[in-house]
Structure formats: C-alpha cells, structure tokens
Chain A
C-alpha cells in the first residue's frame, strides 16, 4: 500500500480501489474507533454526509440492543459505486462492518445488498468474530433509505417509516458500504493518512460514478475538492460539448459544466448541490436539459413508496407539469406552478424522497432557465434553437 503525500486538494487517485490486500485488521476499542473516525473527519458516503462518529456514539449511548447494518442497496439509478466496491474490495466493507459491530457490542451484523448470493462465498471465506447475515435489498429507489433498510432487516417490507426519534437513538446504525470501507482504511493507516486526501474541511476520498456524455463512463475515486474537469478527464474526457452536469444523484442538483468547479460541499452549496453519493452525469449540448429533467422526475415520481399523501400526489403532479414543459405544452404560470409544487412536497413525507426530488427539480429550473424561456415560446435551445412546427408542438 502506497502512502500518498499529496497536497490538500482533491485529485483522482486510488485508495479504496487500489489493488491488493490490506493485511490484518486492528482491533480498536469503541472509544478509539470513535476517536479515529472523528479525527479523520469521516462522513457518510450514502448521500447525507453525516459524521460517522456521531451516529456510532449515539448507538453506543442508546443502551438499546444494537442493530448494525451495512447499506449496499444503491437504489440510485445513476450510481454504480457501491456495486463496484463490493465486487472489487468486499473485504474492506466487511472489515468496517466488524469494526462498528464490535464497538457497539453487537452479536450479529447485517449486510444489505441487492444480490446477496454474490457475497456468500466471500463471507464464508472469512473468519469474522461477529457473524454477518445477508439481507436482500429490493430493487427500488427508496429501499436504501435508512428506515426502509432497518425495516427490511427486521423482516418487514423495505419501506420508510415515520421518524419520531432518530434511528441511532434506537440502537440502529445504518452506514453506507463505502463509509465502512473508509473506516477499515482509517483503522489501518490512521486519521492523518486519511486526511492527506481531500480538503481540510472535507477530508478523504470518495467514489464517483461518472456517466452520460463521457468517453469512458465508470467508477472512479478522488479526493473531495477534485475539479469536475479532472473527474471527467479521468472518465475518458467529454464526448463532445457539455451543457450541464448532474451532481450527487437523482436527489442531487444540476450545475454548470465548468471544468474548474470543485466537487465539495463548500463549492457546490451555491448551486444547492452537494457531492451526495458521488454521482456525476454529464449532459451533452445536443440534449435538452428539460427533457432529461422530466424523465428523471417521472422516474422519481414512480419510485414513491406510496405511503404519504403529499409525495404520492405531489410527485406525479410535478412530473406531469415538467413533461408538459419539456413537450412545449406551455400554459401561463407553469414555472410558478413548478415552484409552488416543489415547496408543497418538501418536508412532507416519512422520508426525504420528496425533498430530494424537489431539490433536483428546483435546480433544473435554475440551471436551464434559458431553456425554460425558450420552451414556453415553443423553441428548444438544445435542438439548435430552431422553431418547432405546430405539429411537433401538439
């Protein structure tokens, strides 16, 4: 294992995705592990970016029987990094799971993945002190939401639950598989090593799934703060001119295709975006952002778990309104209606699916504001700005 001595800027590099074996796993006690995770500044890689040490501490302090779960559901359609990690370095994930399970004094731990059979042999070849059970994650966007994960592991359906108390306070720890893999690296190489990648405020590397208009789509690893241009270059470079980039995932946000833009919370915040689960999807100039946005909104509306009125009713209404906009079925006040609906659904569900969907849509209305104006007058900028015929508008 090479110890990198790069500067405090994000660069494309391989840590989790490096070849080889990392040797025996140290056995820190709970206080040491929490301390290391805190010193390293390790945050969740499943989308929320929440510090691992706080959740682990809350689980330990809860006094409740611990339920420890590695979340590899990866319901996000544009993401492939958890699958790649589990295929390439499953032992790092399983090491991280042992570390948190030990710290929480759990007698078992759970690995929640779409295709458990692929991991059976890997698990069988290990001699884990804490036995791990495999739980199948249904193929649905919300099945990776933490309360849905806890419900699935408890043998009920993988649907989100109402949250009167935060999950860690009930003794349940749900961590993304990548987060656990980083923890296994930190236990071996230390917090200082971890912090040598990324920025001061956002240390470490993250796995990125780069897709869309790039020559070689795939999963890459880079320090936080890596520029969009470096990530896209590492994915073979742009396949033609780009008009915008979706960052974070289907619950993320559209940002300008600016090669200098750093992928970090700090740099993306002005766009209402965050690195999220590491999704980077490049939109080619010839494609219409409003059409792409309507497609994603339709997909997300179809993924509502069907439990909460404002989500069940509001997301399809939003998707239909955006489909109208994309297809030039304009009417007065359409953008204002989109704005009203995004506010109407936000915060009004058992999970944050409506919030994430609303965030993505709001970002599209900002990033593609010129396209919105053009579409309202029956033109599309992406398809070379030409006027559509009346037949095409109907």
Chain B
C-alpha cells in the first residue's frame, strides 16, 4: 500500500498540497495539511496516486514523499 509521508520539519504550511489533493488532504487551523482520514500518513488509493505524485513533485519545501510497501 502507498502512503503519503509528511516531513513536518520541512513543511511550511502554505497548503498547496491540500489544493492539489483535496480528496486526501485538508488544511488545519494554521494551513498545515491534515489527512481527511485522521491518520498521520494517509493511505493513497491507487486512482489517486498520480495526483499524490504531483503534490509530492510540486511541494515547494520537498516535504512530501510517497512510501510504498513499507510499514
């Protein structure tokens, strides 16, 4: 299963990822991404993988990563 990992030490919370991936992410009170399913690193369903990859590629802080099969 693929998961979206957020490096919180890098994320600066402009919320671009929540715009690119609204199915998975919302913004919290301060603009930081929060998974809609409440998990710290949300599972990415197959059909959303391309959109998730786009969010990873466009994150200005390089804070996002797709983790495959681990954990």
Contacts and interface: CB of A to CB of B under 8 A. Distances in A.
Whether both chains belong to one complex is answered with yes
A348 B32 contact: yes
A134 B32 CA distance: 39
Interface string B22-54: 000000111110100011100000000000000
Contact of A309 (B11, B38, B40): B11
Interface residues of A, number: 18
B5 A164 contact: yes
A161 interface: yes
A308 interface: yes
Task: Identify the interface centre among B29, B39, B65: most chain A CB within 10 Å of its CB.
Answer: B29
B8 A308 contact: yes
A42 to B, nearest CB: 25
Contacts, number: 48
Nearest to A147: B9
Contacts of B28: 310, 344
A27 interface: no
Given A344-B29, A347-B40, A310 B8 contact: yes
Interface string A290-328: 000000000000000001111101100100000000000
Contacts of B39: 347
Question: Dominant SS at the A interface?
Answer: loop
Contacts of A313: 29-30, 32
A348 B30 contact: no
Given A347-B39, A348-B40, A162 B32 contact: no
A210 B28 CA distance: 39
A350 interface: yes
B8 A309 contact: yes
Nearest to B32: A309
A307 B8 contact: yes
Interface string A317-355: 100000000000000000000000001100111100000
B7 A309 contact: no
B32 A310 contact: yes
B29 A308 contact: no
A161 B7 CA distance: 9
Nearest to A354: B8
A307 B9 contact: yes
Given A347-B40, A348-B40, A162 B30 contact: no
Given A343-B38, A344-B34, A348-B40, A162 B9 contact: yes
A162 B10 contact: yes
Given A343-B38, A348-B34, A162 B7 contact: yes
Given A161-B9, A309-B8, 9 more contacts: A160-B9, A308-B9, A309-B13, A310-B32, A311-B8, A344-B29, A348-B32, A349-B8, A350-B8
Interface of B: 5-13, 28-32, 34, 38-40, 65, 67
Report the 10 A-B pairs with minimum CB-CB distance, sorted nearest first: A347-B40, A308-B8, A309-B32, A162-B7, A307-B9, A313-B30, A309-B13, A350-B9, A350-B8, A162-B9
